[in-house]
Chain A
Amino acid sequence: MEGESSGMTVSKEAILGVIAEESGLDPAALRPDATFEQLDIGSLDVASTLFIIEDKFGVEVDPDKLDPHSTIADFVDLVMRLAPS
């Protein structure tokens, strides 16, 4: 993890907010069972989202644990599992 994060508390809502912001999608479109592929969220959007997650919450996620078939729920669970309790 890099030495600087804003130390915000991780929450499902906050993670969804970052995905919406980085992908340009309406938060309402982010259904838990929808995959990145179905939502047309490309690899660069995923990388951007991970970058902001790391910056905001200090949570570093291995991008190899995600692929186009990962769902929004997979993503949120992964970040929440890695977040400091």
Chain B
Amino acid sequence: MTNDSHRRYWRANLRYVAMLLAIWFVVSYGAGILFVEQLNQIRIGGFQLGFWFAQQGAIYVFVALIFVYVGLMNRLDRAYEVDEREDGR
């Protein structure tokens, strides 16, 4: 693999990571901590929304984020031909 394609692969990876970590930050530190009082004005069933994010929602999003990253990276690995071959080399 050339240095140039290596660099582009790494940049694309960093873009994905930055995007997903931004969501990670917003649902936990944003919705669950910094803006919890404002969101608590909104109710969904028996839950106040901020409280729900802090004790339920953030965790669901965390799980989804990892699987989205797995999917994105598997595609990226194949596109740049750096995925692992079956013989392990």
Say if A and B assemble together.
no
